[in-house]
Structure 1
Amino acid sequence: MANIREIQGRMKSIQDTMKITNAMYMISSSKMKRAKKVLSDTEPYFYGMQSAISRILRHVPDIEHPYFESEHPGPSHEKRIGTIVVTADKGLAGAYNHNILKLAEEQAKLPGSHTFYVLGELGRQNFRKKKPENVEVDLTFRYTVQRPTMHRARLISERLLHLFQEGNLDEVHIIYTVMVNAMTAEPQVLQLLPLKKASFGPAIAIPYGVHQEEIMLNPSADAVLSAIIPNYVTGVIYGCLVESYASEQNARMTAMESSTRSAKEMLRDLSVEFNRARQAAITQEITEVISGAKAQKSKS
């Protein structure tokens, strides 16, 4: 059995750690609530843009545009696929980073030539040490995931849109984490480019004579889509960044709550061990006192 001083030292160490985990829990809780509020405040604008694209496609269902998927795509093994991988800058978030990296490795096994654009320092460190086969990691793509901003999302979207427009990428995906509920978060893959018309509602030609709302596209439907879609992609990326950030904070809250609970259980067990050790020490002292008294009495 450990002595009383050792048990007291372990208890103090656990109590100090518990203060840290409690503080991290509170900080992550505050960050998550703020991120969810920001997302809910900006969602109506981007849903409005999605609705605008849907209206254009409803009026001009047969429009051909570079940002939309071609009806005759090339062979899948020849596609150049760029994937934004959203990880965290910090650890202590449970399985959050592991799940994202695992999904990214699965994505890398699909047909095509893959390039990863990694957000988050932990993801960059992981792919620097263990890069999947046949995958190129763009190490110049360095953006933090802390406190997502629209400006950062726009910089990311402009770079990926430029690569797509120049023909350097045939598809652009993003791997991020969706917070299903307070206990569950799931990593997902979302195709950003080219867009699929089906995702904006069924592109059904409206029969002649059926009344539609009046809509004016100036100078043309193609030009309007060229102006709207980059902003739409920026909004989607921003939403993914905020959703991932909220999921990260939620995962860290859960991990810190679990750590605090484990620390309390350890303290409870150590308290029992401490009381036993103290009782044993007191018993030993009483025994020594009685033995000494008996020895003095026998001498006299």
Structure 2
Amino acid sequence: MASLKEVRNRIVSVGSTQQITKAMKMVAAAKLRRAQDNIIRMRPYAQRLNNILTNLSSVQGEAGQNVYAQKRDVQRVLIIAVTSDRGLCGAFNSNVMKAVNNLINERYRDLQAAGNVEIMAIGKKGHEYFQKRNFTMPGDYTGVFGKLSFETVRVAAEEAMEGFRTGYYDQVDIVYNEFKNVATQIIRTEQFLPIQESVEEQGTAQAESDYIFEPSKEEILEQLIPKSLKIQVYKAVLESNASEHGARMTAMDKATENAGELLKQLKLTYNRTRQAAITTEILEIVGGAEALAAGR
């Protein structure tokens, strides 16, 4: 049985840990509110812009002119993996890494064996993980979440788009956590490039006749499509940011509860140990008194 001092030290240590996890939960809750507001405002805009993007790519004759919609034989792939800069958020980061590994094993095993799969990790945890596994990693985006804005994310999106536009990459996928609620994050694996055409059936062509291209289709393709693609990456990062704070809040809440349960057990152990020590002292005193009485 542990000594009273050892149990007392553990109680103090667990109590300090509980205070830290409780504080981290409160900080994550405050950050989550702002991140959730940002993604809720972004979703309708990004969704509408993405609909326009896919519709433009499906207009007769436009897909051939749009370099970002060109389908090629897949010889080299870029995977954008969105993780976090910090840990202590449960399985948030490991789920992304697992999804990326599954994607490679299921679709790009041969390309990976040839060294033709590259990882663009947005977030320090993903960067460190894939760097240790000797993946080719274009760019360093480990500090994006420290000053999260469209401008910081735009650089990563432009690098991926430029690689596809020049033909260096034949396909670009993106893996991230989509925010559903505080306790639930959904792993999304989406094709970023080439742009997927609208899957709507025959009503699509009729619907597109309502579009008025001003000033021209060419300028629309040159300006709107790149902007829309950058918005899609920014949306994925905002989703991941909200998911991270939700996952951390949940993890810290659970850690605080576990610390509370451990404190109860330690205090019970402390009281039992203390009681056993007192009982032992009483028995020693009684035994000594009886010994003295017998010796008279």
**TM bucket by the smaller chain?**
0.7 to 0.9
Paired residue type of 2:137: V
How far residue 296 of structure 1 moved from its aligned partner, in angstroms, is: 4.7
Q: TM-score, normalised by structure 2?
A: 0.85
Decide whether the 8 Å contact of 2:173 with 2:193 is kept in 1: yes
Q: Say how many residue pairs are matched.
A: 287
State yes or no: 1:141 paired with 2:140. yes
Residue identity matched to 1:114? V
Query: Are the structure 2 counterparts of residues 199 and 136 from structure 1 closer, same or farther at C-alpha, using a change threshold of 3 Å?
Result: farther
CA offset digits 1:24-82 (Å, max 9, x no partner)? 11111221221110112233433443354466568x44423324534xx4434x3x221
The answer as to whether partners of 2:173 and 2:190 remain within 8 angstroms in 1 is yes
| Alignment match, 1:279 | 275
**Cα deviations by residue, 1:166-216 (Å, 9 ceiling, x for unpaired):** 222222221111133333323221112221121588673339xxx964x53
Instruction: Report which stretch shifted further, 167-176 or 285-294.
Output: 285-294
Question: Could you tell me how far apart the structure 2 residues matched to 1:201 and 1:39 are?
Answer: 30
Distance 1:22 1:100, change over 3 A: same
Find the residue that maps to 2:191 and give its secondary structure.
strand
SS at match of 2:87: coil
After superposition, the CA RMSD in angstroms is 2.7
Q: Could you tell me whether the CA contact under 8 Å between 1:61 and 1:203 is conserved in 2?
A: no
Hey, what does 1:14 align to over in structure 2?
14
Quick check: 1:68–1:196 contact (8 Å CA) kept in 2?
no
In structure 2, C-alpha distance between the alignment counterparts of 1:54 and 1:191, rounded to whole Å: 12
Equivalent residue for 1:157?
Answer: 157
Q: What are structure 1's unaligned runs of at least 5 residues? A: none
Shift of 1:236: 1.0
Correspondence for 1:180: 180
SS of the aligned residue for 1:180 comes to: strand
Specify which of 58, 73, 76 is matched with residue 75 of structure 1: 73
The residue that corresponds to 1:232 in the other structure is 228
- For 2:39, the equivalent position in structure 1 comes to 39
- What amino acid maps onto 1:123 in structure 2? G
Cα deviation for residue 222 of structure 1 reads: 2.5
Normalising by structure 1, report the TM-score.
0.84
Letter in 2 for 1:126: Y
**In percent, how many aligned pairs have the same letter?**
29
Structure-2 residue corresponding to 1:266: 262
Cα contact 2:56–2:62 (8 A) shared by 1:
no
Larger fraction in helix = 2
In 2, the alpha carbon distance for the partners of 1:151 and 1:252 equals 26
What pairs up with 1:18-97 in 2 under 5 angstroms?
18-53=18-53, 60-64=59-63, 65-70=65-70, 73-76=71-74, 78=75, 80-97=76-93
Q: Does structure 1 retain, via aligned residues, the 8 Å contact 2:172–2:191?
A: yes
SS of aligned partner of 2:126: helix
Q: Would the alpha carbon gap of residues 236 and 266 (structure 1) be closer, same or farther in structure 2, given more than 3 Å must change?
A: same
Contact 2:83 2:93 in 1 (8 A): yes
SS at match of 2:186: strand
What's the secondary structure of 1:198's corresponding residue?
Answer: coil
- Kept in 1, the 8 Å contact 2:66–2:221? The answer is no
Q: Give the match's secondary structure for 1:128.
A: helix
Q: How far has the Cα of 1:293 moved from its partner?
A: 3.7
Q: Distance in 1 between matches of 2:267 and 2:202?
A: 66
Residues 1:252 and 1:174: Cα distance change in structure 2 (over 3 Å):
same
1:122 aligned partner: 125
Q: Does the 8 A contact of 1:82 with 1:114 survive in 2?
A: yes
After TM superposition, give the deviation of residue 124 of structure 1 in Å.
1.7
Confirm whether residue 102 of structure 1 aligns to residue 98 of structure 2.
yes
Rounded Cα–Cα distance in structure 2 between residues aligned with 1:205 and 1:86:
35
Unaligned runs of 5+ in 2: none
**CA distance in structure 1 between the aligned counterparts of 2:204 and 2:38, rounded to whole angstroms:** 35
**CA contact 1:67–1:193 (8 Å) conserved in 2:** no
Q: 1:298 Cα deviation (Å)?
A: 4.6
